[in-house]
Chain A
Amino acid sequence: MAKLIKQGALQDTDPWSTDTDGYRLVTLEQWQNERDAVLAELSAGRTGLLLDSHETADLIGDDSRHFPLIAVNFPKFADGRGYSAARLLRERHGYQGELRAVGDVLIDQLFYMKRCGFDAFALREDQDSSDALQALSTFSVTYQADVGEPRPLFRRR
């Protein structure tokens, strides 16, 4: 299994990264085409959604709340669309489940990802997990509002 950091800690197990027990991710397209079937299986809590980088958050919108997990794909770490997707899922669509960054997920982007609402990070294979944990607390001050702190610094100074 890929190195997974979740809620600030390295995980030993992850049901989503094995095909067993019925855990699976559906693509946005599958959701759109087979909505009823996917809805029916969702009660088991083992169906997540995979949002690719070109798919904006509004395409799933409030339906995101049906899913226990949404994985946002970063095909290249420099593709920054996933940051907006995550933020909108959290702030606009009220998504409360696990929001996982997948794909080209590297240590030096984790802090920004966390601020945008990701709470799980499937690190790229070669990434050092202790460095990754350290990176999650790079800054103690932030100017802007973010998912964890809706007040920008100027309302907190």
Chain B
Amino acid sequence: MYVYDKHDQQLLNERVAQFRWQMERYLAGKIGEDEFLPLRLQNGIYVQRYAPMLRVAVPYGALNATQLRALAQVARDYDKGYAHFSTRQNVQFNWPALEDCPQILADLAEVQMHAVQTSGNCIRNTTTDEYAGVIAEEITDPRPYCEIIRQWSTFHPEFAYLPRKFKIAVNAVPGADRAAIQVHDIGVNIIRNDQGELGYRILVGGGLGRTPIIGTEIRSFLAEEDLLTYLEAVIRVYNQFGRRDNKYKARIKILVKALGVERMQELVEAEWQRIRHSDSRLTREELERVAAHFTAPDYTPLTDEPQELVSARAANPAFARWLGRNVRQHKQAGYAVVTLTLKQKGTAPGDVTAEQMDSVATLADRYSFGELRSTHQQNLVLADVEQRELFNLWQEAKALGLATPTLGLLTDMICCPGGDFCALANAKSIPVAEAIQVRFDDLDYLHDLGEIDLNISGCMNACGHHHVGNIGVLGVDKKGEEFYQISLGGSCGGEHSEEASLGKILGPSFARDQMPDVIARILDFYVAQRSDGESFLEAYRRLGHTPFKEAVYGKAD
């Protein structure tokens, strides 16, 4: 993973000092509330329903064991002993005191972590595939490009006060969309052109929120060295012409829609032609310097399917089930990619305790070269585990409650913090997730259902990505009461298809206690109608919306 040099560390230390000074001036009444707002946001601090929330960046999901221990320490020292992994691969603390935040950031800076631009109207944490670098399907490892984007976007002097937040995601697997790039402000797809040269296909104007839109291609091929100048051109156009009069119409997707993608493309091209040969053009040396941080660890020469694994699998069905679900093929023989699911029954999706974090850090040290990743499905990944150690790892993970064998299944839900924590919420989301986990806890049934994305957001801001859930749940407010609207058929593309789709609303919303029954009706209908091996999404796409609607609401006359 990327290791800071003296420049990176110096910059971060200066940031810590800057924010400490800003906090002092704020507490002394020298900075007004409105003026402090973007300063704290760009240092990851929201003021939530009950307390401030601190969102720490995990750049493109990459963490090491030392950093995870530091996060556990923050949870103990400044919070209530736990943390929450978000759908942007970041970590959130829900209970720090505002005055403590500068010291928390100073503590984190010692392990090369920060909360820079995790909120606010600026360029946010770039996200990518949590399996980057360890799966054979990728064209190249996307992480060096994410790091290059991270450095370029960090304290970019021109783009700290954009019309609205700006999110970039990078995918490097052909025929798949492993980072939901189609629902980002800019989606970067790493590709090879007909000449075999590495470059990017660029999408623009995707997004969820109030106006969900699938991104459109703005450039079919961009050469490898041109990444930053092109991003700069897109965002410069957006900074100048994006709407600032209405925050709900301020994202780049609205600008792209208003101008039309052809006009947007003209403006961006014109801008880019004038800067593409500037010194901001990436150099071979820089690409290589950054890529050198992401070389493969020191793998032991091993073979697939070692005896330890084969016999443990044969002897232990629960282990076999976990292997089938939560463990993935590695590109290196004898190794495997393991997902530790943060979806234990009885805890909110993405929540981990300080003890669990410490234990996972130990697991990472013991089994996976001291590194791990966070995922946008709110899980953790140990990416380089020897297959002969899988049984040992499973036993330890199981004892920690991190081996629920449900990766990608119904109860591996994505869920935003919702009304329990978030001031913007229309409704709580965690209790809905919990009710569904309790109702559908039969592993045989879950495995029989197969892969289903169920995503829950507590309001239209869609932090729980409900539009791209195969089943999406959205909290709505009806005359002061909390209700839930269901949509079906959404997908962010994912492993098997590069085609994203937005869910379609099923009908009138439901009260919270009705939700498990309603989900059950949808699932029963799918099970009754599916043909052999057909996933929920495939069945929905084949059967269409109406039959599902009728299964839930009865037939309209």
Contacts and interface: CB of A to CB of B under 8 A. Distances in A.
B514 interface: no
Contacts of A56: 240
A79 B30 contact: no
B10 interface: yes
* Interface size bracket, B side: 35 or more
Nearest to B244: A79
Interface string A132-156: 0000001111111110001111110
Contacts of B18: 138-139
A77 interface: yes
Contacts of B38: 78
Interface stretch (A4-12, A38-46, A81-89): A81-89
Interface in A65-99: 77-81, 83-85, 87, 92
Given A78-B161, A108-B35, A154-B283, A140 B10 contact: yes
Interface stretch (B151-159, B306-314, B497-505): B151-159
Contact of A145 (B154, B280, B286): B280
A141 B289 CA distance: 19
Given A78-B161, A92-B274, A154-B282, A108 B239 contact: no
Given A84-B240, A155-B279, A115 B157 contact: yes
A131 interface: yes
Interface in B20-60: 22, 25, 30-31, 35, 38-39
B278 interface: yes
Contacts of A140: 10, 14
B239 A83 contact: yes
A128 B30 contact: yes
Given A77-B35, A139-B14, A152-B280, A157 B7 contact: yes
B262 interface: no
Contacts of A77: 35, 161
Given A141-B14, A155-B283, A79 B161 contact: yes
Q: Which of B10, B158, B283 has the most CB of A within 10 A?
A: B158
A139 B22 contact: no
A140 to B, nearest CB: 7
A116 B121 CA distance: 18
A83 B158 contact: yes
A117 B163 CA distance: 21
Interface string A45-57: 0000000000010
Contacts of B11: 139, 141-143
B325 interface: no
A112 interface: yes
B236 interface: yes
B21 to A, nearest CB: 8
B5 interface: yes
A108 B39 contact: yes
A106 interface: yes
Contacts of B22: 108
B108 interface: no
B104 interface: no
B486 interface: no
B515 interface: no
Interface string B340-354: 000000000000000
6 contacts: A83-B161, A84-B239, A143-B11, A145-B280, A146-B157, A155-B286
